[in-house]
Amino acid sequence: EAQVTQNPRYLITVTGKKLTVTCSQNMNHEYMSWYRQDPGLGLRQIYYSMNVEVTDKGDVPEGYKVSRKEKRNFPLILESPSPNQTSLYFCASSPGATGLYFGPGTRLLVL
């Protein structure tokens, strides 16, 4: 089944404790992206990747890192999480400009 998977689905952590949210797609898509969803703000792009070893900042990259060492994986790293990073995070992939395939989301709470 074609899908985008994210892990973990739910995470509670404390300020400053490094964490990684994994994202994997099995559709051989070149494009992958991370979004955060906050009430009243819709989805805002954090980082995106056009291909392996090619990443770029989105609208809200501060406090986040990404890497794209393999085509299928695009992990999101929070080196030192803060409470303002409490949010719902979505990973997505796309074969081109024809629409995104979203993962199920990761709900993060930073205390």
Partner 1 sequence: AQSVTQLDSQVPVFEEAPVELRCNYSSSVSVYLFWYVQYPNQGLQLLLKYLSGSTLVKGINGFEAEFNKSQTSFHLRKPSVHISDTAEYFCASSPGASKIIFGSGTRLSIRP
Q: Does 105 bind partner 1 (CB under 8 A)?
A: yes
In DSSP terms, 87 is beta-bridged to 108
What are phi and psi for residue 104, nearest 5 degrees? -80, -10
Q: Does 90 bind partner 1 (CB under 8 A)?
A: yes
Choose, by CB under 8 A, the member of 2, 12, 27, 50 that binds partner 1: 50
CA distance 23 to 42: 21
Q: Residue 67 belongs to what H/E stretch?
A: none
Choose, by CB under 8 A, the member of 2, 12, 53, 56 that binds partner 1: 56
Which chain residues interact with partner 1 by CB under 8 A? 4, 31, 33, 35, 40-45, 48, 50, 56, 90, 92, 94, 96-105
